[in-house]
Structure 1
Amino acid sequence: MARDPDTIQRDIEQARDALASTLDQLSEKADPKKLVDDATSSVKSKFDDPRVKAALIGVGVLVAVLVVRRLFR
């Protein structure tokens, strides 16, 4: 069954609009600045966890002790 040219044109325009919308969404998600900002906020939130802070302090103290022992041997 043949389709009406106006219907075909509307379908093409709807597909074009949907494609443009999808491309806009992809370009927003793939924006390097946004990716860096998201990663930075994720890391900052991890460091705000008291358990992570305690572990990092412990590792820092251990490294400092090992360096001091090594220097005075």
Structure 2
Amino acid sequence: MARDPDIIQRDIEQARDALATTLDQLGTKANPKKLVDDATASVRSKFDDPKVKAALIGVGVLVAVLVVRRLFR
């Protein structure tokens, strides 16, 4: 059975539109600036957690104490 050329043309146009939409979405997701912005926002949200802040302060104090001890030995 032969398909109607108008139906074939419509199917091709729909497939082309779907492909263009998919490529636009991929381009948006793979945008390096967006990836960096998302990673930065993620890291900032982690550092806003009080538990993480306390742990980092503790590590900083420990490093400072070790450096001072090594300097005055």
Unmatched 5+ stretches in structure 2: none
Tell me whether 1:17 sits opposite 2:40 in the alignment.
no
User: What is the CA-CA distance between 1:16 and the residue it aligns to?
Assistant: 0.2
CA distance in 1, matches of 2:6, 2:59: 70
Question: TM-score, normalised to structure 2's length?
Answer: 0.99
The CA RMSD over aligned residues, in Å, is 0.3
Q: Percent identity?
A: 89
User: What is the CA-CA distance between 1:55 and the residue it aligns to?
Assistant: 0.1
User: What is the CA-CA distance between 1:9 and the residue it aligns to?
Assistant: 0.3
Residues matched between the structures, number: 73
- SS state of the match for residue 2, structure 1? coil
After TM superposition, the runs of 4+ consecutive aligned structure 1 residues lying more than 2 A away are: none
Question: TM-score, normalised to structure 1's length?
Answer: 0.99
